[in-house]
Structure 1
Amino acid sequence: MPSLRGGTTEAKDANEEVQKICDDIKSSAEEKAGKTFEIFSAKSYKSQVVAGTNYFIKVHVGGEDYVHLRVYKKLPCEGSTLSLHGLQMSKVHQDPIEYF
C-alpha cells in the first residue's frame, strides 16, 4: 500500500529495485563518505512520496558497519534520475531508519 504524500512507509526488506538504486548511487555515496565501500548491499528501506520519491535505505558496507542513504528519485516524466540527498555513517544493523 503506498504511503500518504509526505509520510514515510514502514520499513521494508530491500528488493531488486532498491538494490539497483544503491548500485546506481554508490559512487556518489563513496565520494560523500570519502571512502570506498567493498560491500554495498541494501538491507531495508522506507520511502516517501513527494514530487518524486525519497528513499531512506539501510546499506551494509562490511563487517558490522552500515550507512543510511537518502536518495531522491525524480518522477518518470522528469527522467526518473537519482540524486543522493544525504548520507549517515557509523550505523549498525539495529539502528532504525529515520527521516533525515
Structure 2
Amino acid sequence: MAGKMHGSISTSPVTDEVQEIVQSLKDRIEEESKRKVEFLHALLHCSQVVAGMNYFVKVVFVAGNAAECIHIRVFKPVAGEKPSLVKFETNKKVSDEITSFG
C-alpha cells in the first residue's frame, strides 16, 4: 500500500535494488546500532531524486533474540560510487510512517 511522504514523495514496496543496498550497509548498521545484526529486511522505502538518490527505508533487523525496526537514510550517488548510510533512527515501530529526515 503506497502512502505519502513529505509532500510528493510516496512510499513504495521494496525492490531487489533497495534490499541489496540495505544488505550492503550491514556493517554500518551494526556499527550505528552497536549490535551484531543477524538478519536485515527492508519493509518499505521512499526515494527522492537529488544529485543522486536519497532512499528512506524502514528496516527490520534481528540481533540476538530481539527484533527491532529502524529507519535509515541512504544516499546513492549517480556515478558508480557505493551507497552510504547518512542517518539512522531507532525506536521505530513497524506501523510508523516513513518521513524524510536529516
TM range (shorter): 0.7 to 0.9
Percent of aligned pairs sharing the same letter: 35
Q: Is the 8 A contact 1:64 1:93 kept in 2?
A: no
1:67-88, Cα deviation, whole Å (9 max, x unpaired)? 111000000xx21421100000
Structure 1 residue runs of 5 or longer lacking an equivalent are: 1-6
Q: Which residue of 2 aligns with 1:39?
A: 39
Q: Which runs of 4+ in 1 moved over 4 A?
A: none
- Residue 86 of structure 1 aligns with which residue? 87
Q: Which residue of 2 aligns with 1:58?
A: 58
Q: Partner residue of 1:21?
A: 21
When normalised by structure 2's length, the TM-score is: 0.82
Q: Is the 8 A contact 1:46 1:57 kept in 2?
A: yes
Between Structure 1 and Structure 2, the one with more helix by share is: 1
| Distance (Å, rounded) in 2 between the aligned partners of 1:23 and 1:64 | 16
Root-mean-square deviation over aligned CA pairs: 1.5
Distance 1:45 1:58, change over 3 A: same
Greater strand proportion: 2
Could you tell me which runs of 5 or more consecutive residues in structure 2 were left unpaired when the two chains were aligned.
Answer: 1-6
Aligned partner of residue 40 in structure 1, secondary structure:
strand
1:53 Cα deviation from its structure 2 partner: 0.3
- CA offset at residue 92 of structure 1? 0.9
